[in-house]
Structure 1
Amino acid sequence: MSESTEGNVIEELSITRTPQSKAKQRRPFPGWLYALLFVVFDFAAVAILQWGVTMDSTRIELSSPLVGLGDMIAKMFTHANFVLILNMLLVGIVYLIVLMACNRFWVATPVVLALALIISVIEHFKVGIRYEAILPSDLSFLGSNTGNLMSFMPAGWQWAVLGAVAVFAVFVALFVVLDRIDGRHGRMIRTANPAMNAIVRLLLILCPGMLFGLYAMQVGTVGSWANAVSSALGDTPSMWDSVYDAQRNGPVVAFVRQLNPKVMDEPEDYSEETMQEVAARYRQAADAINETRSEYLDESTVVFVLSESFSDPSRVPGLELNQDAMPNVREIKENTTSGLMLSSGYGGGTANLEYMGLSGMSMANFDSSLTSPYQQLVPSQHWTPTVNQMWGAAENSIGFHPYEPSMYSRATNYEKFGFSHFYTLEGEDIIAHQDTIDDSPYVSDEATYRSALEEIESTDANQFIQIITMQNHMPYNDWYRDNDFTVESTDPSQPLGEDETESIETYAKGVSISDEATKDFLDELDQLDKPVTVVFYGDHLPGIYSTASEDDDNSLALHLTDYFIWSNQASAGSGAKNDDSDYTSPNFFIAQAAEHMNAKVSPFLAFLTQMHEHVSAMEPPVVNNIQGWDRIPEGQSIYLDADGDPMAESDMDEQTRQLLEDYLLIQYDVTAGSNYLRDTGFMDAPTR
């Protein structure tokens, strides 16, 4: 070979090897750097998801102040609350699974961040439009309802989408650069043995996936390891407000917690054959009851009034007021079916009492993990029989609630219950009257009654009307300008504190205003020439009695509110008074109303009638502190007899035990079972 030829060959080899030489100069990122970047991008994904639920909540008086990423970081140091870490662990598991699936760090990371951006933008839209976080029930939109997603797009949605795309583009550009710098191009598992690579990656997909699945299956069950871990890291369920819950605990934790709540244990003898026997037993009971009754439920208008926190403050142990806060309701109670209602809540839990009144089901039968049926149960139920459905077409069921329709997911639940309209402060159905009193931020009871009365007067049709008031909702901050109520302790050694005194006096004035408004409402109904029956009840006591609540012996007293069932002069039930009315719980209201109205009953109402004759009231174990969402202590549910005395299950007769067992069967079938009763007519009240 000539010297010139040899030189040319060397030059060509030099040229062709230059890119490879440069590639070899790119050092692979060390393992510790990948670990650090994994944590950084995991945090970024959680931050993106948190943005989706972080918004100005000043329009929601009950929500706590804005809770964003900064708050989650701060409370790690101020309150040893590590819910941010819990969210990062859950997102990190998903991140690891994606990473092992593709085995490329610079591919998996943008995929995870893209998912976070998509979810966050959708969440942002839903919060903005409906003030509701993404719930497990929303997964139905991934099926046949996908087209309906466009209906949730707010005005100017394009800008949010473009912003998300721009953020993602920046991320992609960053990852392209890092991929070029990284000599291993993000390859995670790389050994000389391809089979070993596959086994390791498979294990790193299956093991974290199984852990995530087990956590999701059990975190909603009180007492489980997953629930204990969440609680230890700072998860504090706030399920009355899904947005605040997601802000406070992180959207991932708030969502996963609701994936698989434990509803009820399956009764041992549950089967289609057993349920057919139950249906036949109470069909026969209904026939016997109906022989003595001449009226029909759907031939009257029935109004359920859940009066927020309404109760008699003079009945609280250790208190003395200077005057009666509810003289009108007291007089009404003396002349109609009335008594005391055992409440499962104290200072909260409104929707649970509401659910029991509408469904006839009892919280005492549910597992303690089911803290809020409106969020954890109803959205996934295939069959939701409620009392309003006995009035036929949806146009005959109307709801009124002068507040946010998203609280407790009421708007979607009421639609599922078969209400044609649910009038609130926002949305398509705006409540007509929104007057407040003095400095109170809440719509008055008088205004709420006026909105409902106009609806009742506008038609000759018989309806089911649901009213949930807001006037007496906490807090109680000296709202009323001419408040002449005073309160003091009956025990000089235990004087009331300044804050407690102000709250009780403000609350007492609110009760007196509701007392007048309720009397006026009934007087207006009494002038109508169509039959109307009202079921009125307070949902729970306000959580302001800090002195009385310190004494565990006051538990029962702090869980008894006032109720009555009243009919106007055009009704067959006018002036009626049930013999077994002294004590009750809301699951019995519709059966009591039918008895008060002398109306025929369905097999289910026949069962409730018999159940109420043997157990006057029933609720889960009660506590003296404000209603929480790890809701009840261990122990027997509370059962009261006709005199209001607690009943022990061990002392119950055989018939009472049979009724309680049947209640478990019925409630399980409706809420968690196979709905064997659905096509038996069990819930159908007779019509003319």
Structure 2
Amino acid sequence: MLGVMRKERWMFPGWLYAVIFVAVDAVCVGILEWGVSLSATRVQLSSPTVGWGFLTKMFTQANFVCVLNMLLLGIVYLALLMLFNRFWIATPLILALAIIIAVIEHFKVSIRYEAILPADLSFLKADAGNLMSFMPPGAHWVVLGAAVAGVALFALCWVLYWLDGRHGRVFRSGADPRRTALNTVCRLLLIIVPGGFLTLYTMQVSTVGSWAKSFSSAMGDIPSMWDSVYDAQRNGPLVAFLRQLNPKVMDKPADYSEETMRQVAARYEKAADQINRTRSANMTDSSVVYILSESFSDPARVPGLKMNQDAMPQIRQIKEHTTSGLMLSSGYGGGTANLEYMGLTGLSMANFDSSLTSPYQQLVPTEHWMPTINQMWGAPKHSIGLHPYESSMYSRATNYKKFGFGKFYTLTGPDVISHQDKLGSSPYVSDAASYQSTLEELRKTDKPQFLQLITMQNHMPYHEWYPDNEFHAESTTGTPLEKDERMSIETYAKGAEITDQATKEFLDELDKLDKPVTVVFYGDHLPGIYSSASQDENNSLALHLTDYFIWSNQASASHGTKIGDDEYSSPNFFIAQAAEHMDAKVSPYIAFLTELHAKVAAMEPPVVNKIQGWNQIPEGSDIYLDPEGKPMNPEDFDAATKRLVDDYRLIQYDITDGANYLKDTDFMNLPE
């Protein structure tokens, strides 16, 4: 009787398998999107399109990134299907895989507000036993809900299996051995060909100019590298993950070898010895504070703009009496972490391939050796990071740990910044509050420290945050400013003035400390609000110059020092300039940066007059400025400058994408 019932069951046709395949694929993509969307409750700098918007933007914006995710996941699904040749085995497996990944993603987003990254794979391999420590409160309810959903889906698969007279067998074997061989070949081809596509896509999708990058962009992939969760929400977790698996870092120099790197190390060991003969101080006997002041720059320098009063009188006065100048920025309205990365490492974005737009996301998480300047101060307890915003932005929480910071104080913890006061209706923590938190860290110990502060007060966008704002902006070009542009500029100018006063008060407090402290202060980029000025490409250089200074308190031997030939710089040179300002002895690496800075005052990749994008570094030639701030043509470099620039690429390649030959030398070590 049972045999008769089985014979009467409907043999599912191929087209029905195809329909179910597409439906299951879409469900799996939806499950993965749930993993990053449900927990995204924190206030972000911009609101991503999540939930149903991930699907509906196909119709509202002609954005097909949802289809792209389905295509990529469908290849994995198809491989399972061909491997087992059983539809009702492959289907529960792909559903289980999607549910498990989504639950893990949900937990990671809940705890750290960070999507799953390629670097997490090494964590699973090395520290899988500690996974339970990452379970957030209420995790059992999520697991229970996922289990119930999984059981329901598996039950549905079982019902369909029972109804299917073929029992999910896609290729049916028979007595004819030729048909069996043909079926085997077809299954192999349906694994190898789509699998090859997925492999090639993964290998090339992060490389500018590749077919995979162009295809991904055409489907609607818009990289959002500053926020991994936003990126996963906006572009799908699978696309966001695969994009970071194989970034092109930089081309391998033709003469790169262990012998070459030993020659480079020896060359700058001699340079360091020469420099150190005339210097008397040790840099790490003092505390050094790097202050990345969000969007800080002088509005009066913007071409075609006139302000009714000075927004930075205090810092202008400070700059007159200490080492200071203008910093060439790679960003306009964005790209903060890239300037931060250059300042902490001494490496330059100009040396990277145009595909590497965000080292914090694409490079640092997978690096085995990442020397940063704070490590010169020894144990992690001597390195403190402070940022009054999300710890997950630009994956800073993970990266700062890798950089050797013992504490990283943010709004979201685990180390929570102590002062969180805001001004007017601004959503951002004030600079005065950030300075107060920094002072507290300096006062905790008499030991020398390295502190990195990234402020938020002047972050875009700007609204009428400050009551009784006395700043007024007007155009000098004959074309009046638009209302929104004028409002943004005036709000920003008021914020810059508040920063100006708070910075002076912070330095006054540092002067009261008994321990020597040197401050490196710089604006990371101009705010992207100068719509009128940005329309003229001739304004590019002016829109990429911010203010910086290096200052030492009264307890420092270098108090009152002003290095006279540092009118222009870029953040990769700050550590070399700080050492010169402090009359401090240098490592071979800092000696190299010192010699390069003497030839090339500032360097950055090509720039554009629009808010920092994340598809690629802008096309064009790298920018090099001479000590007078004039652009330099690399073809006109003298032999010494060419040697230094070539050595820079060798050094940067070795550290970031090479064999780390310099790690086994004294290249990074300060003299004892």
Give the shorter-chain TM-score range.
over 0.9
Displacement of 1:21 after TM fit?
3.0
Does residue 245 in structure 1 map to residue 265 in structure 2? Answer: no
Which of 632, 640, 645 is the matching residue for 1:655?
A: 640
Letter in 2 for 1:374: Y
Displacement of 1:456 after TM fit?
0.6
2:514 is paired with a residue of what secondary structure? coil
Unpaired runs of at least 5, structure 1? 1-17
2:662 is paired with a residue of what secondary structure? coil
**Counterparts of 1:211 and 1:536 in 2: how far apart (Å)?**
48
**Counterparts of 2:132 and 2:305 in 1: how far apart (Å)?**
55
Which of 236, 248, 252 is the matching residue for 1:266?
A: 252
Letter in 1 for 2:138: G
Aligned to 1:615: 600
Map residues 247-396 of structure 1 onto 2, 5 A cutoff.
Answer: 247-396=233-382
Which of 65, 79, 91 is the matching residue for 2:73?
A: 91
Aligned to 2:582: 597
Displacement of 1:515 after TM fit?
0.1
Which of 535, 555, 559 is the matching residue for 1:574?
A: 559
**Counterparts of 1:70 and 1:422 in 2: how far apart (Å)?**
35
Does residue 53 in structure 1 map to residue 36 in structure 2? Answer: yes
Which of 121, 128, 134 is the matching residue for 2:116?
A: 134
**CA shift digits 1:514-558 (9 cap, x unpaired):** 000000000111111211100000000000001100100011110
Displacement of 1:396 after TM fit?
0.6
Aligned to 2:101: 119
Letter in 1 for 2:233: Q
TM-score normalised over the length of structure 1: 0.96
**8 Å Cα contact 1:81/1:233 also seen in 2:** yes
Displacement of 1:481 after TM fit?
0.7
Aligned to 2:626: 641
Which of 138, 142, 145 is the matching residue for 1:160?
A: 142
Displacement of 1:81 after TM fit?
0.5
1:561 is paired with a residue of what secondary structure? strand
**8 Å Cα contact 1:355/1:373 also seen in 2:** yes
Does residue 516 in structure 1 map to residue 501 in structure 2? Answer: yes
**Counterparts of 1:654 and 1:71 in 2: how far apart (Å)?**
56
Letter in 1 for 2:207: T
Displacement of 1:482 after TM fit?
2.0
Unpaired runs of at least 5, structure 2? none
Displacement of 1:140 after TM fit?
1.5
Displacement of 1:56 after TM fit?
5.8
Displacement of 1:55 after TM fit?
2.9
Which of 39, 43, 58 is the matching residue for 2:22?
A: 39
**CA shift digits 1:2-56 (9 cap, x unpaired):** xxxxxxxxxxxxxxxx433332221211111111111000000000000000136
Does residue 472 in structure 1 map to residue 465 in structure 2? Answer: no
Aligned to 1:148: 130
**CA shift digits 1:633-661 (9 cap, x unpaired):** 32210000111111111111111111010
Aligned to 1:499: 484
Letter in 2 for 1:41: V
**Counterparts of 1:225 and 1:623 in 2: how far apart (Å)?**
24
**Counterparts of 1:654 and 1:141 in 2: how far apart (Å)?**
46
**8 Å Cα contact 2:40/2:109 also seen in 1:** no
**CA shift digits 1:569-588 (9 cap, x unpaired):** 11121111113210000000
RMSD: 1.0
**8 Å Cα contact 1:141/1:148 also seen in 2:** no
Aligned to 1:428: 414
Aligned to 1:180: 162
Which of 35, 40, 45 is the matching residue for 1:62?
A: 45
Letter in 2 for 1:387: I
**Counterparts of 1:196 and 1:211 in 2: how far apart (Å)?**
22
2:550 is paired with a residue of what secondary structure? strand
Displacement of 1:144 after TM fit?
2.1
Does residue 25 in structure 1 map to residue 8 in structure 2? Answer: yes
**8 Å Cα contact 1:307/1:468 also seen in 2:** yes
Which of 599, 615, 631 is the matching residue for 1:630?
A: 615
Aligned to 2:217: 231
Displacement of 1:260 after TM fit?
0.3
Displacement of 1:57 after TM fit?
4.2
Displacement of 1:191 after TM fit?
4.2
Question: Which shows bigger deviation, 23-32 or 410-419?
Answer: 23-32
Map residues 450-461 of structure 1 onto 2, 5 A cutoff.
Answer: 450-461=436-447
**Counterparts of 1:507 and 1:167 in 2: how far apart (Å)?**
50
The number of aligned residues is 668
**8 Å Cα contact 1:57/1:63 also seen in 2:** no
**8 Å Cα contact 2:208/2:616 also seen in 1:** no
**CA shift digits 1:30-89 (9 cap, x unpaired):** 111111111000000000000000136453231315x32310222111111000000000
Question: Which shows bigger deviation, 605-614 or 170-179?
Answer: 170-179
**CA shift digits 1:299-320 (9 cap, x unpaired):** 0000000000000001000100
**Counterparts of 1:191 and 1:497 in 2: how far apart (Å)?**
73
Aligned to 1:401: 387
Q: Between the two proteins, what is the percent identity of the paired residues? A: 68
Aligned to 2:546: 561
**Counterparts of 2:42 and 2:103 in 1: how far apart (Å)?**
21
Which of 470, 486, 489 is the matching residue for 2:472?
A: 486
Displacement of 1:361 after TM fit?
0.3
**Counterparts of 1:177 and 1:57 in 2: how far apart (Å)?**
35
**Counterparts of 1:217 and 1:394 in 2: how far apart (Å)?**
35
Displacement of 1:395 after TM fit?
0.8
**Counterparts of 1:68 and 1:185 in 2: how far apart (Å)?**
37
**Counterparts of 1:43 and 1:144 in 2: how far apart (Å)?**
33
Which of 576, 584, 587 is the matching residue for 2:572?
A: 587
Aligned to 1:7: none
Does residue 414 in structure 1 map to residue 397 in structure 2? Answer: no
**CA shift digits 1:590-630 (9 cap, x unpaired):** 00000000000000000000000010000000000100102
**Counterparts of 1:317 and 1:625 in 2: how far apart (Å)?**
15
1:618 is paired with a residue of what secondary structure? strand
Letter in 1 for 2:524: D
Aligned to 1:170: 152
TM-score normalised over the length of structure 2: 0.98
Displacement of 1:156 after TM fit?
1.2
Displacement of 1:206 after TM fit?
1.5
Displacement of 1:190 after TM fit?
2.0
**CA shift digits 1:251-277 (9 cap, x unpaired):** 000000000000011100000000000
**8 Å Cα contact 2:39/2:109 also seen in 1:** no
**Counterparts of 1:455 and 1:143 in 2: how far apart (Å)?**
36
Which of 437, 461, 475 is the matching residue for 2:423?
A: 437
